[in-house]
């Protein structure tokens, strides 16, 4: 083996060794990168689980055939409203709340709760005013302030109005029509604001209730709230279903018009 050959071979061997070293260094480096990547993936927040989808709402019954009743609660929300919401939730019953604007401004959380639970929210004036005797300016102020308060609290703009004391007028009807509010009165009135007696309220409601009717109650009275479980349980056992006012009329209420019950049409009350 001559000199230059030996030099070339040695150089090749050195190069090969260097290359091998470089390759062997490369592999762990690559591994390190992979490990780091895996670690950073583990540290990254896990993708958010899908929020539970709300239970699909069953379609409301056809109240021209089913035995429907609309429970309505006026003058709230106040502290006794929370207990009522628990009672309604435990029986999966939806009701309609006619809210006084002043109370909405004081208890926006309860209004939100009513809406989130699927109840219908409606306007009952801002100060519980006698709208049937009020001037145009007063009516517009009472209704607009209440609509705004309810919208601020729940995001909902009501399309039902119950004039306090059932006191209405042509002027109120015209303004209600312009504001997109149907007027909802009632069929069954147990005078629960006067008779603060739970058994008396139960008896008065259960006595002659009929399909298609609207029951007037006040959730501001604890004596009334305590009557609700028995009213619901007894009437459910008789085959009644509870719906909101809009559902009672199949969603077809005309602004400005007055409603006291669903006209007994053909077949109403049949199972
Ligand atoms: Zn009232």
Q: Say how far apart CA 86 and CA 90 lie, in whole Å.
A: 6
Q: Is 74 one of the catalytic residues?
A: yes
Where are the alpha helices (H) located in 44-132, listed in sequence order?
79-90, 101-106, 108-116
Q: What is the pLDDT of residue 23?
A: 46
Q: Say how far apart CA 139 and CA 130 lie, in whole Å.
A: 9
**Do 88 and 215 share a domain, yes or no?**
yes
Residue 156's domain is classified under what CATH number? Answer: 3.20.20.370
Residue 268: pLDDT band by 50, 70, 90 thresholds? very low
57 domain residue, yes or no = no
Task: Give percent of the chain with pLDDT exceeding 90.
Answer: 74
**Interval between CA 183 and ligand 1 midpoint (Å):** 13
Q: Kindly report, residue by residue over 153-163, the tens digit of the pLDDT.
A: 999 999 999 99
**Do 114 and 188 share a domain, yes or no?**
yes
Closest CA to 173 of 218, 227, 134: 134
Q: What is the pLDDT of residue 127?
A: 98
128 domain residue, yes or no = yes
Q: Is a pLDDT exceeding 90 seen at residue 62?
A: yes
Which of the following is catalytic: 119, 124, 218, 221? Answer: 218
Q: Say how far apart CA 233 and CA 45 lie, in whole Å.
A: 48
Q: Is a pLDDT exceeding 90 seen at residue 151?
A: yes
Name residue, tokens 């001559």. 2
Q: Is 119 one of the catalytic residues?
A: no
- The stretch 68-72 carries a mean pLDDT of 98
Residue 146: pLDDT band by 50, 70, 90 thresholds? very high
**Interval between CA 127 and ligand 1 midpoint (Å):** 10
Mean pLDDT of the residues in the chain: 86
Instruction: Provide the domain limits for residue 24.
Output: 1-37
- Give one word for 166, left, alpha or beta, with left for phi > 0 and alpha for psi -120 to 50: left
């Amino acid at each position: 083996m001559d000199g230059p050959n030996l030099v070339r071979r040695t150089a090749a061997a050195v190069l090969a060794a260097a290359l091998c070293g470089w390759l062997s260094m490369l592999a762990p480096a690559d591994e390190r990168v992979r490990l780091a990547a895996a670690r950073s993936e583990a540290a990254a927040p896990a993708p958010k689980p899908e929020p539970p989808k709300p239970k699909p709402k069953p379609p409301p019954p056809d109240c021209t055939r089913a035995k429907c009743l609309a429970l309505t609660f006026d003058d709230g929300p106040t502290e006794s409203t929370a207990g009522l919401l628990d009672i309604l939730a435990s029986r999966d019953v939806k009701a309609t709340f006619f809210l006084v604007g002043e109370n909405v401004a004081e208890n926006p959380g309860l209004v939100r709760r009513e809406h989130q639970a699927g109840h219908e929210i409606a306007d009952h004036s801002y100060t519980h005013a006698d709208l049937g005797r009020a001037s145009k300016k007063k009516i517009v102020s009472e209704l607009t302030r209440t609509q705004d308060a309810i919208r601020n609290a729940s995001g909902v703009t009501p399309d039902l109005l119950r004039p306090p004391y059932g006191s209405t007028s042509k002027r109120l009807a015209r303004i209600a029509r312009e504001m997109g509010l149907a007027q909802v009165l009632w069929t069954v009135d147990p005078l629960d604001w006067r008779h603060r007696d739970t058994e008396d309220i139960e008896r008065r409601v259960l006595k002659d209730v009929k399909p298609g009717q609207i029951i007037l109650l006040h959730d501001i009275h604890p004596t009334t709230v305590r009557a609700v479980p028995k009213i619901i349980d007894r009437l459910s056992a008789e085959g009644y279903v509870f719906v909101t006012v809009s559902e009672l009329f199949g969603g077809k209420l005309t602004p400005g018009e007055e409603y006291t019950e669903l006209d007994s049409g053909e077949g109403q009350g049949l199972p």
